[in-house]
Structure 1
């Protein structure tokens, strides 16, 4: 059976985005890694060969990376771009988050600059080799003049869920220092609140729910929402009274009272971790502990024992 695809159903090529020498390579698990690294074919990606196509085809030098599939087809086996003679096709560069740093700014450059023949060429602005893709984007005036952060959110709205958009918005606040925070908020509130609007009729309540969610995300990044020019959170909609979401979640975790007996059944390795972690808690030192082990070696058993111990200690403290 022959299946006909309309223009709207033709799969959109996803164009990879990677920093120099950081593209993905597929290889057989039994392959010799030295041979994998030495393979010329494995050094190629859609992006590196886009640069090469700009060297070899004058017509390519006026086409953005994201638009390349409209004029060239990717030859997967031999890894090169071939001038297209078939139907037109739309491409899309895989997304990047502003928190990813230079990978994000590499995407900004690729969305605006044509004709580059290498990563170094892309980094070169007015004859000066920049030290980072962000510097190159700044020198070209792409970050402020073209509303890069606004475009980032607008593009994400085409595919991301509202909760993901809220996290992206929080990430932009923390890592990108936007100048017009309130303008960014006003322009993107509707898509960020789409899930809340389905169950609530009051626009004020919807806005407050979005603000509360973003506040929790900012707290997890070590920031306070009051430091940003956003609408105020009304106490009437804030059952937590500003308490960090992680603290609330941890303090409401339920446990089985019988778990208080688990500590007596810990093995030597579990007991060592149990004693060291609880000692740090009792001293108030804090710290980060990494408990590693194969599945079935008793990590969850250890966690349950510690959780029960801490909850019981808190109950005893409150009772006293």
Structure 2
């Protein structure tokens, strides 16, 4: 999207609202918002949104006088309190309670009036959000892998094909299933005489020269016979030429190019195949194709100041492309747009090990937010704290992941002047929701609970309680079995022991054999769930 066309935070309110309209100015909108766009203010542990003793949708929201762009690409919409001039109301058929803007689900008022139903609308305020939106909308429905003992591959495919609800509806109604605009033309890149060749069983290259033609070899040929092509980079060719019959041909329709009225231009996009930096000369050849206009051969790509250099890497160095880390930054920027944080970290390790990076710390500082984004997002979801900002803890987790990968190459972060992670085993738990959940207990609240409940212990309970606490303080491992009739305070006793440990900042796992028993303990879970946690397996 053009920069001037993108909505700014001050314009978000035109498209998305998160407030109850003034009933005197828009009575219909006021009623529709209260009817369809209010998150249940009575949500309890019986509500579908209730998880881990809180609302998983993070309601009620904080009040805000103005709409602003959040720190993690999610907008904070305007939600004025009654004292700030916001409006309130109540839902019919429910106990009378004033509902304020902190319970309003973001929506578009015009669409709400048209469809008269719950319709959540959000703003994607950053390009970083787009790759996640595409991932979840394009991944399809849940799928099941299974085996079919048939030798007929066609029948096996038809038997195993799975169509999701959205695709099924579109097919039944005759809607188009696929569309691509603009067209993306994939451009081949290969070293001289190393292109892939496909031929029939009784066919040879001598019989058909078209087999060895690629978009790259024909780009060189085009620059020989067409003066206009000599003014273009390889990626610009699809805008003015079409690939037809193994040959680049001028477009016959489109917009006329100024000063070249016989040339037509379209909005097609050229994309050169991705090449790993580990591919050495092929990587540098791709780099040159993005910086040299109109080469007529591979030798011309390697020619600098009239001298043909031995390798593409030497040509890049002579042209000044390797004097700094600009090309590595370009590589990371390209990955940042399309790759998820883990893939970016893997790429960064590959660059450190196989490429000559002059200043790795600068590259880390520039892209550390993108490489730590998944750790940050995971903690936000686990703690249900949307306001949590990315911080040194998440950077440390990313560094620990990098160190683990570098270990397989016999290297470490210090060799590249990068900071060492404070805790080298932290990668064992960064993806473990249980570990993060156990860290969120408020030690002051746990301590108050202990001080309040300890005096209520009877003598026998106190004997067991003090014995267990003594074992914990002396770090003595024991298997203790408590047997008592129902109603004698076993749960009270166990919950007090859990609070005692958590008040000191320690981790205490409350595990039961069934889900019903687990719900009687704070943070309780079943033994099966703990067993399948990668952290506790370690």
Q: Does 1:190 align with 2:369?
A: yes
* 1:45 corresponds to which of 194, 208, 214: 214
2:114 corresponds to: none
TM-score, with structure 2 as normaliser: 0.41
Structure 1 SS opposite 2:268: coil
User: Which stretches in structure 2 are left out of the alignment for 5+ residues?
Assistant: 1-173, 255-265, 380-387, 429-538
1:221 corresponds to: 409
Tell me by how many angstroms 1:216 deviates: 1.6
Structure 1 SS opposite 2:338: coil
The 5 A counterparts of 1:44-63 are 44-63=213-232
* Cα 1:130–1:67 shift into 2, 3 Å: same
Tell me by how many angstroms 1:37 deviates: 6.1
Structure 2 SS opposite 1:82: strand
The 5 A counterparts of 1:89-104 are 89-104=268-283
Q: Partners of 1:19 and 1:40 in 2: how far apart?
A: 18
Tell me by how many angstroms 1:122 deviates: 1.1
Q: State the Cα deviation string for residues 266-290 of structure 1 (Å, max 9, x = none).
A: xxxxxxxxxxxxxxxxxxxxxxxxx
2:248 corresponds to: 81
Structure 1 or 2, whichever has the larger Rg, is: 2
Tell me by how many angstroms 1:231 deviates: 2.0
Q: Partners of 1:117 and 1:212 in 2: how far apart?
A: 47
The 5 A counterparts of 1:63-74 are 63-74=232-243
* Cα 1:26–1:160 shift into 2, 3 Å: farther
Structure scoring higher RCO (CA < 8 A, sep ≥ 6) equals 1
1:143 corresponds to: 322
* Cα 1:14–1:240 shift into 2, 3 Å: closer
The question of whether the paired residues in 1 share the 8 Å contact of 2:233 and 2:293 is answered with yes
Tell me by how many angstroms 1:143 deviates: 1.9
Structure 2 SS opposite 1:233: coil
Q: Partners of 1:25 and 1:118 in 2: how far apart?
A: 19
Moved over 6 A (4+): none
The 5 A counterparts of 1:1-320 are 9-28=181-200, 31-32=201-202, 35-36=204-205, 39-75=208-244, 78-84=245-251, 85-86=253-254, 87-144=266-323, 147-200=326-379, 201=388, 203-235=391-423, 238=425
User: Which stretches in structure 1 are left out of the alignment for 5+ residues?
Assistant: 242-320
Tell me by how many angstroms 1:145 deviates: 5.2
Q: Partners of 1:180 and 1:94 in 2: how far apart?
A: 27
| Cα RMSD for the two superposed structures | 2.5
The question of whether the paired residues in 1 share the 8 Å contact of 2:375 and 2:397 is answered with yes
* Cα 1:51–1:205 shift into 2, 3 Å: same
Tell me by how many angstroms 1:226 deviates: 1.8
Q: Partners of 1:214 and 1:2 in 2: how far apart?
A: 46
Q: State the Cα deviation string for residues 226-283 of structure 1 (Å, max 9, x = none).
A: 2112122103x63589xxxxxxxxxxxxxxxxxxxxxxxxxxxxxxxxxxxxxxxxxx
* Cα 1:226–1:74 shift into 2, 3 Å: same
Q: How many residues align?
A: 234
Q: Partners of 1:224 and 1:37 in 2: how far apart?
A: 52
Q: Partners of 1:187 and 1:168 in 2: how far apart?
A: 15
Q: State the Cα deviation string for residues 60-110 of structure 1 (Å, max 9, x = none).
A: 1111001111111111xx211111233321111111121110010001100
TM-score, with structure 1 as normaliser: 0.67
Q: Partners of 2:267 and 2:427 in 1: how far apart?
A: 54
Structure 2 SS opposite 1:214: helix
The question of whether the paired residues in 1 share the 8 Å contact of 2:325 and 2:358 is answered with no
